[in-house]
Amino acid sequence: MASNLEPIPVTSQKHDPAWKHCQMYKNGDRVQLKCVYCGKVFKGGGIHRIKEHLAGQKGNASTCMRVQPEVRILMQESLNGAALKRRKKQKLDTQIVLTGNIEPLSELSPGVELLPVVDSLEQSFGAFGCQDEGEGTSNQVTGRKKKGRIRKAITSKEVVNGGITRANDQVHMVIARFLLDAGIPFEAVKSPYFQPMIDAIASQESGIMGPTYHELRSWILKNSIQEVRNEISRCSHTWTRTGCSVLVEESTTERGKSVINFSVHCLEGTMFLRSVDTSEMVHSTETLYGLLRDVVEEVGVRNVLQIITSNEERYIEAGQRVSDTYPTVFLAPCASQCIDVMLNDITSLGWVNETLGQAKTISRFIYNNNNILNLMRQHTFGVDMVDLGATRSSTDFLTLNKMLNIRQHLQSMVTSVEWMESPHSKKPEGFSVLDLIGSESFWSSCTLITRLTGPLLRLLRIVGSKKRPAMGYVYAGLYRAKEAIKKELAHKNDYLVYWNIIDHRWAPLQRHPLHAAGFYLNPRYFYATVEDVHLYLRSLVYDCIERLVPDPNIQDRIVKETSSYQNAAGDFGRKMAVRARDTLFPGEWWSTYGGGCPNLSRLAIRILSQTCSLMSHAKPKLSHLEQMHETSNSIEHQRLKDIVFLQSNLHLREHHGNKSREDGSVDPISYENLPFIKDWVSEREPCLYEPASSDWMVVDPPSSNAVLLSPQVEDDFEALGAGFGDYEIFDGVKDMVKDENGDDTL
């Protein structure tokens, strides 16, 4: 981009959704927009042209070929909505021309008369200033008369928009008072059910009354519970075809109670079953075995492929007993926890720990001084340096990567006049931050750390993804992580330090039959892998066949059908099937092209439909769990139990349905986020006084436009690529012999 382009922050007053997907630059007296996906610069046309570019609609802009599918759909919906508004505006413009003047503000009755006309007038004149002079008016009306009516319309718009602002402010204040009085966290407005509630109330005529306390506890609760039960019943009918996984996760309430939550995951989503207070029996393997066995029997032994638990020894022992009781059920430790412990081990390495400490010094200084925090957000266009991950270790490395992305902006900040004039910059901590941000060695260490840990973070996102089941991708993700480390460090003694960490923590899943079969049955990887690796994996696939398919006759058919898959015979070899290896989800590929091998296809679909993680699934509110387990009245206990059941499943339903990251930014200093980012934003000592630099009222909010300063992120699944021929990475391919030239071969 030309050097004379000066970046301009996108202010919060710009509400069009397309502003979140472009950058704004000033070139002399003109403003130009740049697409954040393909980098194309638009010298005119405004935000509407960017929106056409992202939506792929023919018009005044070329189509962006790198935009994410969900963003393209959003832009298309926005354009369709704008077209509807224009049609309504044209209709109302004609009515205005025919009916004459609009009453001035002084003659409008505040509140009662203004609100009913807000919607129609706002829709009519929302884009009036952007229209051609004659658009929306009668062709017979010309000259000064037409311009006079346009001025009247614009005046009317200002009147109505003032009413909208006042009405919204009043509604927002009422909502805030309710939340504050009830002690409900502000994050409750992020609930997917919040805006539909507002819309439902607004759609009714005045006089609607809210439900009473007893109505909520009786028929409303009953109806809501029945809706969820019906939904679970519908989903359970798919378990026979796709199979399911039982998820077992332990949590501790604020009062120290140990609670185990049982859920079921399938392609339709995750369903919460129940919560059990195990405070008195948490160390009893026998009791834990009984709980696991009962849940498996409730869900259906033939439906359950695996039980996913934590990596604690008592869970492994109890889960293994269930597998011994029911051989068709595998025990699988949580893959996310294994990866998280790898990351935690890497943070313990001396040079990594030192670099993270330096980065946290910068972050703590900035986030505990309001003027410096505002200055940083000014230079980064509202983007924060702290990036919230699923765990504390992932937050550390994500934040380090985020700091690299905004490195130039941080360096611009500490060389600005505002920084040099700030009293905070003259403190010892300020000088330390200045030295670190200007240190090449610090940034070099950050770069190396992010390259070493980036593939593990990607794998952590994959196993916790809501886009698709991860079972067919775990082996590939782990391979890529070790491959990246080997390429980055080159010397064997150097990269083995990290490989040993990975192998040690991955040991429970190193030769797990389900994970091996998932890789083997994923056509994208199978046909891009050398035959010798197939031989290594095939034994583990046979383990799956023998355990998941008790009937010997069907076992034999599956083994015969694997030859067709291996040789890409029949439908597997069609050009469509070959192209679809890289485009269809693995389970969909088998469903589409596996008709000639029905037995193998059924097995593949069941294996490839499974999750690998506990972290990707929402959890019940601990406060309600605590109330339930402390209530001694049997009737109220059952009601609270049903509330936990209902709330957990509502949360899980939306968690599964929302495939993309939440729209909006995360405030790093928010109390709700402290468990994972405390080291990055909190002082070392408790806040016992309130210095002037801690005035939260003057702090600018973070921007939701975080994509502006971040490079385009490739889809995690697509980034795994293909090609797996490094035998050293595939631990277990041990049958290496020397050929006549002294080279390793199989």
Q: Which of 223, 189, 452, 467 is nearest to 346 (CA)?
A: 452
Report DSSP state, residue 724: B
Distance CA 240, CA 545 (A): 17
Q: Are 587 and 605 in contact (CB under 8 A)?
A: yes
Tell me what pLDDT residue 45 has: 78
Residues 6+ apart with CB under 8 A from 334: 308, 309, 310, 311, 612, 613, 614, 615
Residue 71 included in any domain: yes
Give the pLDDT of residue 405: 92
Residues comprising the chain, all counted: 746
**Within-domain flag for 284:** yes
| Res 390: pLDDT | 87
Q: Which residue has the tokens 């099937």?
A: 577
| Concatenated DSSP letters of 226-239 | HHHHHHHHHHHTTH
- Confidence tier at 654 by pLDDT (50, 70, 90): confident
Cross-strand partners of 249? 261
Quote the pLDDT of residue 714. Answer: 66
Structure confidence at residue 146 (pLDDT) = 42
Distance of alpha carbon 120 from alpha carbon 156, whole angstroms: 12
340 falls within a domain:
no
Query: CB under 8 Å, gap of 24 or more: what pairs does 117-121 form?
Result: 117/160, 118/160, 118/163, 118/164, 118/167, 120/88, 120/92, 121/92, 121/156, 121/157, 121/160
**pTM of the predicted model over 0.85:** no
Count the domains in the chain: 2
pLDDT band at 227 (very low <50, low <70, confident <90, very high): very high
Q: Which of the four pLDDT bands, split at 50, 70 and 90, describes residue 635?
A: confident
- Cβ atoms within 10 A of the Cβ of 140, count? 7
Rounded to whole angstroms, the Cα distance separating 354 from 182 reads 44
Give the angle 322-323-329 at the CA atoms, nearest 5°.
Answer: 110
Assigned domain for 245 exists: yes
pLDDT at 594: 95
Q: Is residue 347 part of a domain?
A: no
The residue with greater pLDDT, 476 or 92, is 476
80-93 tens-digit pLDDT: 776 655 555 554 44
C-alpha 240 chain-centroid distance: 29
The predicted structure's pLDDT at residue 106: 37
How many other CB atoms are there within 10 angstroms of residue 623's CB atom? Answer: 11
| pLDDT value, residue 396 | 96
pLDDT of residue 397: 97
Tens digits of residue pLDDT in 128-145: 333 333 333 334 434 444
Question: Side-chain half-sphere of 287: how many Cα atoms within 13 Å?
Answer: 10
Share of the chain above pLDDT 70, in %: 79
Q: Is the pLDDT of residue 701 over 80?
A: no
* End residue of a domain, out of 63, 80, 97: 80
Q: Which of 34, 52, 80 is the last residue of a domain?
A: 80
Mean pLDDT, rounded, of the chain: 81
pLDDT of amino acid 147: 41
Indicate whether 108 pLDDT > 50: no
Element (H, E) at 276: strand 269-277
pLDDT value for 725: 79
User: Can you give the pLDDT at residue 129?
Assistant: 36
Summarize the confidence of residues 73-77 as an average pLDDT.
84
- The whole-angstrom separation of Cα 599 and Cα 607 is 13
Q: State the average pLDDT over residues 550-573.
A: 95
333 pLDDT exceeds 60? yes
Given a contact cutoff of 8 angstroms between Cβ atoms, the answer to whether 406 and 400 are in contact is: no
Q: Give the residue-averaged pLDDT of 480-498.
A: 94
pLDDT recorded at residue 617: 60
User: pLDDT-based confidence at 159, cuts 50/70/90?
Assistant: very low
427-440 pLDDT, tens digit per residue, is 999 999 999 999 99
Residue 635 belongs to domain with CATH number: 3.30.420.10
Please list the residues that pair with 30 across neighbouring strands.
27
- What is the pLDDT averaged over residues 19-44? 85
528 is a domain residue: no
* 320 within domain boundaries: yes
**48 inside domain:** yes
Average pLDDT over residues 407-423: 93
Q: Can you list the alpha helix ranges (DSSP code H) found in 406-466? A: 407-414, 417-421, 428-437, 440-463
Find residue 266's DSSP bridge partners.
Answer: 269
AA identity, residue 597: C
Which residue, of 42, 57, 80, is where some domain finishes? 80
Domain extent at residue 53? 6-80
CA 298, CA 301: separation in Å to the nearest integer?
8
Average pLDDT of 235-259?
Answer: 89
- CA–CA separation, 208 and 213 (whole Å): 16
pLDDT of residue 723: 81
Mean pLDDT to the nearest integer, 442-471: 94
What span, in angstroms and rounded, lies between the C-alpha atoms of 450 and 492? Answer: 20
Most confident of 113-117, 137-141, 314-318, 644-648: 314-318
Instruction: Report pLDDT for 60.
Output: 67
Q: Regarding predicted confidence, which is higher, 732 or 320? A: 320
Instruction: Give the span between the Cα atoms of 587 and 602, in whole angstroms.
Output: 10
Using pLDDT thresholds of 50, 70 and 90, give the confidence band for residue 282. low
Q: Which residues of 102-134 are buried (b: 16+ CB within 10 A; e: fewer)?
A: beeeeebeeeeebeebbeebebbbbebeebeee
